[in-house]
């Protein structure tokens, strides 16, 4: 019995290691800080070039003293069709206030708020062969809605096979 348990333990460990080190690069998760100083992004997302659909989960915390509305856009060439979905309760019970998202704009952000935005991108031909972000300049940008001041920019990298991104979670 002990031998059987050892085999299962080692097999589970090996499979879990395989799972932990394997990346499916049609989705990625970036974390950022949204601030009047231009913000900061941790582990910018990396996707495998050649896909027909990508999902980016962009989470960010609002740093003081910023308060207000924030416009979110996907910028850079080649242009992509994209959709933005805010993570929010199915039914808002109104127990605590949280920012609302409508037509690409977060309303009423305040320091300490956390946002979680799902960006679904459908690229055209230009991404097929792989273009590093510094060539394409594709990025998710957060601007102060009133004054167009940049609060956070998340560069998005599309790489060819064999090139790897960060080893963290992709959500």
Partner 1 sequence: MPESPIKINFFRRHRTPFLLLGILLFMPPLSLLFQAGTADSNFCGAWCPRMFFVWRDGMTASQFFLGFARSFAGVILLLGILLSTLLLGRYWCSHLCPVGGTTELGSRLVPRILKIDFSPVPAAPVRYGYLAVYLLAPLAGLGSLCCNYCNFATVPRLYGAFFTQADLAYFFRTLGWLNLALVVFLGFLARGGRGYCNFFCPVGALDALAAKLGSRFGRRMRLDASRCTACGLCLEVCPTWAIDLEEQPGIDQLSCLPCGECEKVCPEKAIAYKKGAARRRLCGRAESPTAVVASSMPGVGEGPGL
Asked if the bond preceding 66 is cis, omega within 30° of 0, the reply is: no
C-alpha 7: how far from its chain's center? 38
In whole angstroms, the minimum distance from the beta carbon of 122 to partner 1 comes to: 11
Pick the closer one to partner 1 by CB: 146 or 167.
Answer: 167
Q: Which residue has the tokens 């069709």?
A: 81
In whole angstroms, the minimum distance from the beta carbon of 162 to partner 1 comes to: 17
55/57 Cα distance (integer angstroms) = 7
Footprint on this chain of partner 1 (rule: CB under 8 A): 1, 4-6, 8-13, 16-17, 19-24, 26-27, 29, 42-43, 53, 55, 59, 83, 85-93, 95-98, 114, 116-118, 120, 166-171
In whole angstroms, the minimum distance from the beta carbon of 76 to partner 1 comes to: 21
Whether the CB-CB separation of 141 and 32 falls below 8 Å is answered with: no
- Reported residue count of the chain is 171
In whole angstroms, the minimum distance from the beta carbon of 108 to partner 1 comes to: 12
In whole angstroms, the minimum distance from the beta carbon of 144 to partner 1 comes to: 22
60/113 Cα distance (integer angstroms) = 8
Pick the closer one to partner 1 by CB: 52 or 149.
Answer: 52
Pick the closer one to partner 1 by CB: 17 or 77.
Answer: 17
Pick the closer one to partner 1 by CB: 118 or 137.
Answer: 118
CB atoms within 10 A of CB 93: 6
Pick the closer one to partner 1 by CB: 61 or 73.
Answer: 61
Whether the CB-CB separation of 77 and 137 falls below 8 Å is answered with: yes
């Amino acid at each position: 019995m002990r031998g059987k348990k050892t085999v299962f333990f080692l097999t589970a460990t090996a499979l879990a290691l395989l799972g932990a080190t394997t990346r499916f690069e049609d989705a990625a998760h970036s974390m950022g800080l949204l601030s009047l100083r231009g913000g900061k992004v941790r582990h910018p997302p990396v996707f495998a070039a050649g896909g027909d659909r990508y999902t980016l989960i962009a989470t960010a915390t609002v740093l003081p003293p910023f308060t207000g509305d924030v416009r979110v856009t996907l910028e850079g060439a080649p242009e992509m069709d994209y959709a933005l979905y805010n993570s929010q309760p199915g039914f808002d019970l109104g127990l605590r206030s949280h920012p609302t998202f409508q037509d690409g704009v977060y309303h009423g952000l305040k320091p300490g708020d956390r946002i979680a935005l799902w960006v679904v991108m459908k690229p055209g031909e230009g991404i097929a062969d792989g273009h590093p972000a510094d060539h394409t300049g594709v990025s998710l940008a957060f601007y102060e809605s009133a004054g167009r001041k940049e609060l956070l920019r998340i560069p998005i990298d599309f790489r060819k096979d064999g090139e790897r991104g960060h080893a963290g979670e992709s959500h």
